A = this chain, B = another copy of it.
Amino acid sequence: MKLDVLVIAAHPDDAEISVGGTMLRLSRAGKKVGIVDLTRGEMGTRGSVEDRERETRAANKILKLAVRHNLELPDGRVEVTVDARERLAALIREHQPEVVLAHHVDDVHPDHKAAGELGRLAWYLSGLARLAAGGASSAAKPARRPLRLYHFMGHLPFEPTFVVDIGPVWEEKIELVRCYASQLEPAHAADKGQHFVFGADILGRMETKARTWGERIGLRYGEPLLHRGPLPCFDPVLLARS
């Protein structure tokens, strides 16, 4: 199935937390959005795999996703292997998205960092013709590299290229992330200690981040995205269409 946007994320709630608003706006507007989760999140401090699968299904309904894959790489042990990057490249060729969204390659969380590197490598490899032809599947799709790869923000702050206005779907994004109830409740008293990097309050931090980046462009809530190297000009004032 042809997609407009494909999101590559490490754990089943990462896509929602980082670019849930962007995905909501796109699917509300009739665009085709898909997600590839790399792991089942089975090493997450809180919640069972069954919890997370049920939660993911609930999130999918709100997102109205066109497709959601899971590479079933081992949670907490995502590695940048040739096999993983080629499986991802095959999924990109299969769905032919115009844009890919992935973690940042220097994210503080080891799985996020590996997922960012895999996303960047797979994006490039998706455009190599013979790699495509050599795929195991008899139905291998032709090579095609998405137009743009953007990195979203996880645990590493960075100066983004632009910010998506998610004000119109802010309430829905909160509802979306609340689907992952197991991740939002401290499991026990020691929980804070285990997550001290940025604190255990996922919804609170999500709001702070949305406000920070929204305010940078004069709006209430935003999601930041980073492009490596210059983009084509999309500024409506500078676009000249007679």
Chain B residues, CB < 8 A from A144: 193-194
How far does the Cβ of A234 sit from chain B's closest Cβ, in whole Å?
4
* Bound-complex Cα distance A70 to B26 (A): 46
**Complex interface bits, A91-120 against B, C-beta within 8 A gives 1, otherwise 0:** 000000011000000001110000000000
Q: Which of A195, A225, A230 has the most C-beta atoms of chain B within 10 angstroms of its own C-beta?
A: A230
**Complex interface bits, A208-232 against B, C-beta within 8 A gives 1, otherwise 0:** 1101110111110000110011111
* Bound-complex Cα distance A98 to B237 (A): 7
| Identical subunits present | 6
A139 within 8 A of B: no
**Pairwise interchain contact B127-A110, C-beta atoms closer than 8 A:** no
**Pairwise interchain contact B161-A161, C-beta atoms closer than 8 A:** yes
Chain B residues, CB < 8 A from A179: none
Q: Per a CB cutoff under 8 Å, which of B162, B209, B230 touches A233?
A: B162
Q: Per a CB cutoff under 8 Å, which of B99, B129, B165 touches A232?
A: B165
A145 within 8 A of B: yes
**Pairwise interchain contact B218-A127, C-beta atoms closer than 8 A:** no
* Bound-complex Cα distance A110 to B98 (A): 21
Chain B residues, CB < 8 A from A231: 161-163, 217, 235
Q: Per a CB cutoff under 8 Å, which of B76, B165, B198, B208 touches A131?
A: B76
* Bound-complex Cα distance A143 to B187 (A): 13
> Given A218-B199, A229-B216: A5 and B164 within 8 A (CB)?
no
Q: Per a CB cutoff under 8 Å, which of B28, B110, B125, B198 touches A125?
A: B110
A1 within 8 A of B: no
* Bound-complex Cα distance A129 to B105 (A): 24
Could you list 4 further interchain pairs (A-B, Cβ under 8 angstroms) beyond the known A99-B238, A145-B194, A163-B233?
A: A99-B235, A128-B194, A148-B237, A199-B219
Instruction: Please provide the 9 A-B residue pairs with the shortest distance between their CB atoms, ordered closest to farther.
Output: A29-B240, A234-B234, A25-B240, A29-B242, A45-B129, A208-B211, A162-B231, A164-B233, A98-B237
A–B pairs, 25, beta carbons within 8 Å: A5-B238, A28-B242, A43-B128, A43-B131, A43-B134, A76-B130, A77-B82, A98-B237, A99-B235, A99-B237, A108-B228, A147-B196, A159-B229, A161-B230, A162-B231, A162-B234, A164-B233, A198-B216, A199-B218, A199-B219, A212-B212, A219-B232, A224-B230, A225-B233, A234-B235
